[in-house]
Structure 1
Amino acid sequence: MAKKWNTFDVLRHSRHDWLNRLQLIKGNLALDHVDRAKEIIEEIIIQSRQEAKLSNLNAPKLAEYILTFNWCNHLFQLDFEVIGDEYDISAYEVDVVELLTQCTKVLDAMVEIPEDHHLLLTLQLYHEEIHLVLDFQGEVSDQNKLKLAFENTDVKSAKLIELEQNNQELVSTFLIK
Structure 2
Amino acid sequence: MGKEELTSSELLAFARHDFLNDLQIILMHLDLGNPSEARKVILKTTKAMGQRTLLSGFGFPKVQQWLLTFDWVYTAFRSTLTCAIKKGPRNVNDDTLVAYLEAVFNEIEEVIDPLSDYDVHFDIFAEEKEWSITITINGELPETKETRISPDNLKIEETISHNLWVFKLIGQ
Deviations 1:28-66 (A, max 9, x none): 111111111111111111111111111233422111111
Deviations 1:60-83 (A, max 9, x none): 211111111211253222322212
TM-score by length of 1: 0.85
TM-score by length of 2: 0.87
Which residue does the alignment assign to 1:64? Answer: 65
Give the secondary structure class of the aligned counterpart of 2:162. coil
Richer in helix (by share): 1
Matched residue type, 1:14? A
Q: 1:36-115 residue pairs with structure 2 within 5 A? A: 36-87=37-88, 89=90, 91-115=92-116
Shift of 1:92: 4.3
Which residue does the alignment assign to 2:148? Answer: 152
Matched residue type, 1:169? L
Q: Which runs of 5+ in 1 are unaligned?
A: none
Give the secondary structure class of the aligned counterpart of 2:136. strand
Give the secondary structure class of the aligned counterpart of 1:15. helix
Identity of aligned residues (%): 19
User: Given that residues 28 and 36 in structure 1 are in contact (C-alpha distance below 8 angstroms), is that contact kept between their aligned partners in structure 2?
Assistant: yes
| RMSD (Å), alpha carbons | 2.0
Shift of 1:9: 1.3
Between the aligned partners of 1:103 and 1:16, the Cα distance in structure 2 is 27
Q: 1:158 to 1:93 in 2, by over 3 A?
A: same
Shift of 1:94: 2.7
Shift of 1:164: 2.8
Which residue does the alignment assign to 2:18? Answer: 17
Deviations 1:95-120 (A, max 9, x none): 33133112211221121121110111
Matched residue type, 1:121? F
Between the aligned partners of 1:60 and 1:170, the Cα distance in structure 2 is 26
Shift of 1:88: 5.2
Q: 1:35 to 1:89 in 2, by over 3 A?
A: farther
Give the secondary structure class of the aligned counterpart of 1:56. helix
Q: Is it true that 1:175 corresponds to 2:170 in the alignment?
A: yes
Deviates more, 1:90-99 or 1:124-133: 90-99
Deviates more, 1:3-12 or 1:15-24: 3-12
Give the secondary structure class of the aligned counterpart of 1:61. helix
Matched residue type, 1:35? S
Deviations 1:84-142 (A, max 9, x none): 324454854233313311221122112112111011111111222111211010112x3
Which residue does the alignment assign to 1:29? Answer: 30
Between the aligned partners of 1:75 and 1:5, the Cα distance in structure 2 is 17
Q: Is it true that 1:122 corresponds to 2:123 in the alignment?
A: yes
